[in-house]
Every structure is written in C-alpha cells, then in structure tokens.
A = this chain, B = another copy of it.
Amino acid sequence: MTISTRPVPDSSSASPSLIALDWGTTSLRAYLYDAHGAIVDTRSRAAGVMHVPGGGARAFDAVFEEACGDWLDRTPGLPVLAAGMVGSAQGWREAPYVAVPAGADALVAGLITVTSSRGATVSIVPGVIATGELPDVMRGEETQIFGALENDPMLGADRSGLLIGLPGTHAKWAWVMDGLIERFQTFMTGELFAVLRDHTILGRTMRASVSPDRAAFMRGVSVARGAQRTGLLATIFSTRTLGLTDRLAPDAQGDYLSGLLIGHELNALDAMLAERGIALADQPLRLIGDDGLCARYVDALQEFGHPHAQVVAHATERGLWRIASRAGLVRTDGEPAFADQ
C-alpha cells in the first residue's frame, strides 16, 4: 500500500484518479473518482455478466471500452478496479474466492488482473467463501461491506460484532468482527418473491399496486413471525386463500407476500443469532441496498423488536475506493468525500 501526501484539494479535484466498476449479474455501474475519492462521473449499462453479448473476454472488453473508453482517452493510465460477478467463472476473468474470516487485506491480496485491449490493467476483487457443511459465497457484497465499515461512527476503533444485511435478489446477512467478515448467509428472498409472483398460482390473483401497501406488508411480516416453527412452505399459500375469502385485496397480495418472505428471512436470522446467545432486537446492524427495499427491512425489523436499523448509503462506491486505496491503486491518505455528494 502506497501512502502519499494528500494533494492540495483545489488543484487536484478535477483530475481523475480511479475508474471503479460495480459489475454484477444484471448491470454494470462505472464510477470515475477524483483524487479525494469523490465521484465526478458515473455510467450505468444493462450489460450485466449474464447479458454481455456472447460472453468471453473480448465481449467484456468491448463493454468496458464502450462504457469507460472516453475516460481512459482523456486520462491514459488510470487504474481500474472491478467488483462483483465480473470475477466469477462466467465473468471477465475468475478471481478465486478468499475464505472467511476475510478482511480488506485478504481482498487486496486476492486481487487478480486482466489487461484490456487498449492495455489498461483491470484489477478484480475476489469474492468470499464460507466453507463448512453448507458452503456459501458472495461476490460484490464483500466490497459493499467494507465500504459500510469505513467511517462507521457507531463502531469506534474495534469494529466488532456488527451485523450487516444486504437485501436483494440473493439477500446476504454478514457477521463482521474486528474488521473481518466472520460468517454470512445467503437468502434467496428476492428471487423467490419474483418467481412466486411471476410463475406460480399466487401471481394469478395479484394486481399491481399503485404504491407500496405498508399495512399489507406488515401483516405478512407478522404472520411469518408467528409461524417461525412451521415456516415458509406453510404460510405462502395464504396469499391466495386470503384473497379467495375476500380478506386480502388483489393489489395488496404482492406486498403481503413480500412481508411473508422477509419475515421468514428475519425468523431465520433470529434463530441463528439465538443459537449464539444473541437477541436480534439488541444487535447493532446496518442495511445496504436499494432505498425502498431497505425501508421495508427497517419496518420488518421493528416488528422483530429492532428499532435501530440504519441504512448505509454509497457502500459500493465507498468500498471500491477503500479497496483501491488499500491496494495502492490510488495515491491518497484521505477519506472518501461522499458527504459532499
């Protein structure tokens, strides 16, 4: 890791220092940072790893050139860091997983590089694997987690015992201790919701709602919480039967089902914490993800007695910057400037 004297802000803020890519399954987001870690430009592309035409290194290179080529034209030699499924076997180049417990240093040590057609060196962040009877994996979330840990005012220096939730298609809950990802668990909550709505009988009676129906959502959470032992398989059909009996309107059924699934996810989290003697209600935690979805989790966590769930903004951009800094890709001793965004 290279530490240099921080440049004078006024003279440097316009000069780019890093391109970072959040390149997941369904989309690519590219960020251009100045020397203080402030984002000066950003792009989004639908070319997620599953949608790169043809796949293969050439196709990834072409997407990268289209998205970021002009940035590199203007500032040749800019370092490039990428995180997410771009480092999977189906991505640009595979970055082997690092095992838990894993900290930022392990991610830096596990960086692999690929050289683009124009000669740019792209460093790819490895995912994290938890081995054991049932292994689990993440790619991209590790970067968000370290972005959230950076500058967390509640953590102090020790950074111990924090639970981080990352709602989404494949929701993750990670337990972070002393700056290391100790363990984590994937819940297919978002993907399960989508297929239940789009491909099962439950979707047939649903009507899209104009705005989120918070009461229906909370009703689902409450039903799930009351069915911790009987579980998800025994409750999801109620989405239909409450509709059949005129006790749940068609445009409330989607939010009810969402509440059921998130409630069952929190049941599992509650049980996992209880095994370790920890009460979910007392556990400091952070949420990272889409604002609307995080708001649902904040509400659902209140049903579980947890009033303090905080949502961390810009975790991805912070994490990419932090790993790039730690890897010596950018020369800075400064903190990211997201407060200025």
CB of A200 within 8 A of chain B?
A: yes
B interface footprint on A115-135 (CB within 8 Å = 1, 0 otherwise): 000000000000001010111
CB of A265 within 8 A of chain B?
A: yes
Docked complex Cα distance between A268 and B185 (Å): 22
Of the candidates B233, B238, B247, B267, the one whose C-beta lies within 8 Å of that of A265 is: B233
Question: Are A137 and B195 also in contact (CB < 8 A) when A233-B187, A233-B265 are?
Answer: no
Q: In the complex, how many angstroms separate the beta carbon of A199 from the nearest chain B beta carbon?
A: 5
Is A268 touching B195 in the complex (CB atoms < 8 A)?
no
CB of A1 within 8 A of chain B?
A: no
Is A231 touching B267 in the complex (CB atoms < 8 A)?
yes
**Chain B residue at minimum C-beta to C-beta distance from A201:** B191
Q: In the complex, how many angstroms separate the beta carbon of A247 from the nearest chain B beta carbon?
A: 7
Of the candidates B191, B247, B268, the one whose C-beta lies within 8 Å of that of A231 is: B268
Interface of A is mostly: helix
Is A235 touching B199 in the complex (CB atoms < 8 A)?
no
Of the candidates B135, B236, B275, the one whose C-beta lies within 8 Å of that of A245 is: B135
CB of A241 within 8 A of chain B?
A: yes
Counting chain A residues whose Cβ lies within 8 A of the other chain, the interface size class is: 35 or more
Which A residues between 40 and 69 are near B, CB-CB below 8 angstroms? Answer: none
Docked complex Cα distance between A272 and B234 (Å): 10
Which B residues are CB-close (under 8 A) to A187? Answer: 233-234, 237
**Chain B residue at minimum C-beta to C-beta distance from A234:** B268
Is B247 touching A261 in the complex (CB atoms < 8 A)?
no
**Chain B residue at minimum C-beta to C-beta distance from A241:** B135
Is B231 touching A231 in the complex (CB atoms < 8 A)?
yes
Which B residues are CB-close (under 8 A) to A131? Answer: 245
Is A232 touching B235 in the complex (CB atoms < 8 A)?
no
Is A244 touching B200 in the complex (CB atoms < 8 A)?
no
CB of A207 within 8 A of chain B?
A: no
Which B residues are CB-close (under 8 A) to A275? Answer: 229
CB of A113 within 8 A of chain B?
A: no
CB of A14 within 8 A of chain B?
A: no
Is B201 touching A237 in the complex (CB atoms < 8 A)?
no
Which B residues are CB-close (under 8 A) to A272? Answer: 230, 234
Which A residues between 265 and 303 are near B, CB-CB below 8 angstroms? Answer: 265, 267-268, 271-272, 274-275
B interface footprint on A223-259 (CB within 8 Å = 1, 0 otherwise): 1000011111111111001101101000000000000
CB of A188 within 8 A of chain B?
A: yes
Docked complex Cα distance between A111 and B216 (Å): 35
Known: A134-B235, A192-B233, A229-B275. 11 other contacts (CB 8 A): A135-B241, A136-B237, A137-B241, A137-B244, A187-B233, A189-B233, A192-B196, A195-B195, A195-B196, A232-B264, A234-B268
21 pairs, A vs B, C-beta closer than 8 Å: A134-B238, A135-B238, A136-B238, A137-B244, A170-B201, A186-B237, A187-B233, A188-B237, A191-B200, A191-B201, A192-B233, A195-B195, A195-B196, A230-B268, A231-B231, A231-B232, A231-B268, A232-B232, A232-B264, A233-B264, A234-B272
- Please name the 4 residue pairs, one residue from A and one from B, whose CB atoms are nearest each other, closest first: A229-B271, A134-B238, A195-B195, A186-B237
